[in-house]
Chains A and B, each alone.
Chain A
Amino acid sequence: MKISTPANIQTESIWSKFLQSVRHNIQSYILLVAVAVIWGIFFFLTNGRYLDPQNISNLFRQMSVTSFMSIGMVLVIVTGGIDLSVGKLAGFVSVVVAYLQFYVWFDLFPGQVVLPAILSVICGLLVGLLAGVVQGYIIAYLGLPAFIVTLGGMWLFNGLLLLVTQGKTIAANQPVFSDIGQGYVPPIWGWVIFGLIVVALIWNVFNSRRNKVKYGFTPRPLYLDLTSVGAILVLIFAYVLSVNNYKGIPVPVMLLAIVAVVIAYAANNTRFGRYAYAIGGNREAARFSGISVSSLVFRVFILMGGLCGVAGVVLASYVGYGTIAAGTGYELDAIAACILGGTSPLGGVGTIPGALIGALIIASLTTGLQMLNVQPAWQYVVKAIILVTAVYIDVYFKKHR
């Protein structure tokens, strides 16, 4: 008795602490719950086809193009701006890249496939960055509202897009280049990557605990750290297992994961990221803290442009051609993903993982409704209802925490 009682108490308190932490983070989980609910519903409605390896593979690949934009859009909105040009900019990049692939590299480097692909990527990124520099300069240094400048940008890139294509569709389905959007990481490499992630995350847990101790802080209980890492690893494991049953991890999803990790890290752990949140929270206080607001806003738009470049290259490769309609409406999907993911339209609040889950929700709805052969008209209606309801639930939980 005397021995068992304290142990009992301890397990109880561990359990209650665990529940407490769940309740505390309910907001981060609520989006994942939403994904699970949506998947569950479609799973039943499609007699299980929805969660086929092939469909899971397509789902994530489909969300990758707008997700690159949402990652940048989080930072744009967090700093108190907006970028309406991203869809058409990515579309413009995609037709430029298709043009280069089809007309230019073919003449310059006959018979080569690797070099043109590399050059296309570089050119696509440069076009995106340049667009970001121009728009960012006008917004940050000439002080024009981002809404107007990027609305202008949207029209401009649409015009340029039409000029490049001359109204025609340009093929961009050359070998190697098409792997960027359509390729797969071979299953065996998928497992190697998963192994590396396991090692990296567990190492990170112990390393950050060691650092905390070094600075005299008590780290939170080890099982909490391990539970959260464990949960993430289970999700990744399930994903890799599923897509390996089809063809492996899609290359664009891999690219997206790398970009997301890098930018999410920068958002939390660099001056650039911290200043972005401070500016969005209170621009004047940030300025009086010695932060150069203009320079930061400028850099955020350059990053946004660069990510549109990535999105444009992936888009061209993924669909296999450049068309006049490329990227139409993507800006609103990207913005919706951010807001769904908890980014505040007023600035100062928002996370990249949140925006990615937001993008996943939108993509899940789109593919699910398509599988059910719902008329496009009703697809819009259903998406509208779910978008607004989801944001309402989020607002409700924020108020009644």
Chain B
Amino acid sequence: MDEDIILNFQHVTKKFPGVTALNDVSFQIRRGEIHGICGENGAGKSTLVKILSGVYPHGTYEGAVIYDGEELKLAQSSIQEAVKEGIAIVYQELMLIPTRTVGENVFLGKEPVEHGAIIWNKVYAETQAILARYQLDVDPWAVVNNLGVGKMQMVEIAKALSENAKVLILDEPTSALTKAEVEKLMEILRTLKQHGITCIYISHRLEEFFQITDRVTVMRDGKIITTQPITDVTQNDLIRYMVGREMKERFPKGNRAPGDVVFEVEGLEAADPDEPNRKVLKGVSFNVRKGEILGIAGLMGSGRTELVTTLFGEYGMATKGKIRINGQEIKPRSAHDAISSGLSLVPEDRKKTGLVLILSISRNISLPNLDQFVKFFSINANAEMLASMQQAKSLTIKAPSLDVLVETLSGGNQQKVVISKWLLSKPEVLIMDDPTRGIDVGAKYEIYKLMNDLAEKGVAIIMISSELEEVIGMSDRVMVMCQGHSTTTLPVDEADKERIMALATGVAVA
């Protein structure tokens, strides 16, 4: 055993009342490697991270974690202690203060002081040094708010890497990033590796493991299934290990027969309502048929988010062009208008715009549909509950009851609640903006099946996605957006990854 092991988990078990989150977990991480960890939601990945970060301190779990030759003994509420030990963590949700500068964020909580006053020059000089060392292209004086998600991630990394960082844990770092930003992140990770930093890389996007990791560990139900060099496995192997069964296809095939055009957008142009001169859409045209899934692909900043918010009347100021449902022109000026004309939206960010987390499941499902249950101003709570239950049942939402708060559910189940609420509104056109973002393989498959069912029932679905495979796997036709324009709509059998990327990056013109 001449391997240089930096982290050694020895029979780690972590129990919560009623559930064993980690069950006799043993595996090693070598110094300087990039080690991938994958598993479905609830497999125990986050618990593992929380043990390393000190959220679950030493003594609250069984077994031992040997870190750099010594047992890791973090005390209660010792997140700073973990940092001192050289374990740095970048969480999935960005933890930056958006209104402050990059430098202030990087040194938040560890500002250099002299007589109680912060030495700002030192803050910025050292921030610049850290950024330069790891080749992070960010201005230390920039206000975080003004940065893109990709750059914010770099700031997170810079913040996590103190002088003596040895291990960097990235918990689903790419769920909000575009393809180009992911590439940039991969480059950063390679730089870190050259500096001898060990990386633990947790992700739902399996292809990333093949781009970047040396070895990969698969977890399921709190146990380690296997740890293997990445070169020895395929994506299908990983999926099989994760779900514990053979997954023949990632995308279920529907049996669809698209009908007439129900929804049509023609030469749509829109401007930023705050800056009427800034065009966010510069001519978008497409149509969707009854019972069809139209995929919309495009990079971040291509206008695909703006397209959705403009159609939904919530952001873009439509200046030109026409939107028609069943041949009738509509001019949605608010979500309310859009919904009443038969449009529904499963938004990109379920926590921010999809759900009221502190309300119950049934109240979330019924929220846009209360009109269905009102008689003499008063809501029929029984009818409401019955309808919610039917939705929850047909989407197999897993919860002890529909009275539990949505915030207690897993990501996949939360997404099902969002979809339920829009199914209950019986939309003619359903827009789904990144419907499977941040949810595990099993839940993804269920959502794909559901989309097929809906399309078969005659709903026209517009699916926006950053995952090209998903677009190709699920759509009947694919529309590609580039710099605020719609390029062309391809039948799915003419759309392959290369062609879509070429159109999205403006290399090819339709």
Chain A interface (Cβ within 8 Å of chain B)? 211-212, 214-217, 265, 269-271, 274, 277-278, 281-282, 284-292, 348-349
Contact = CB atoms under 8 A, between A and B. Distances in A.
Contact of B356 (A215, A269, A270, A281): A281
25 contacts: A211-B382, A214-B382, A215-B383, A215-B386, A270-B377, A271-B377, A271-B379, A274-B367, A277-B356, A277-B359, A277-B363, A278-B363, A281-B356, A281-B357, A282-B353, A284-B352, A285-B352, A285-B354, A288-B345, A289-B421, A290-B339, A290-B340, A348-B358, A348-B359, A349-B358
A261 B368 CA distance: 26
A92 to B, nearest CB: 31
A282 B335 contact: no
Contacts of A216: 386
Nearest to B366: A274
A217 B352 contact: no
Given A212-B382, A278-B367, A282-B355, A292 B377 contact: no
A218 B334 CA distance: 40
Contacts of B386: 215-217
A291 B334 CA distance: 9
A285 B314 CA distance: 12
Which residue, of B347, B354, B359, B363, has the highest number of chain A Cβ atoms within 10 A?
A: B359
A291 B368 CA distance: 7
B312 A288 contact: yes
Contact of A289 (B352, B368, B374, B385): B368
A385 to B, nearest CB: 29
Contacts of A285: 352-356
A61 B312 CA distance: 51
Contact of B336 (A269, A270, A281, A292): A292
Which residue, of B312, B345, B367, B374, has the highest number of chain A Cβ atoms within 10 A?
A: B367
Interface residues of B, number: 33
A288 B335 contact: yes
B95 to A, nearest CB: 19
Interface of A is mostly: helix
A288 B354 contact: yes
A278 B356 CA distance: 6
Given A214-B382, A271-B370, A286 B356 contact: yes
B378 interface: yes
Contacts of B353: 282, 284-285, 287-288
B379 A269 contact: yes
Contacts of B374: 270-271
A399 B506 CA distance: 53
Contacts of A288: 312, 314, 335, 345, 347, 353-354
B381 interface: yes
Given A282-B353, A285-B356, 7 more contacts: A215-B385, A216-B386, A217-B385, A281-B359, A287-B314, A291-B368, A348-B359
The 6 A-B pairs at the shortest CB distance, nearest first, are namely A281-B356, A290-B339, A215-B382, A289-B368, A282-B356, A290-B336
A146 B375 CA distance: 33
Contacts of A215: 382-383, 385-386
A29 to B, nearest CB: 19
A288 to B, nearest CB: 5
Given A214-B382, A291-B336, A281 B358 contact: yes
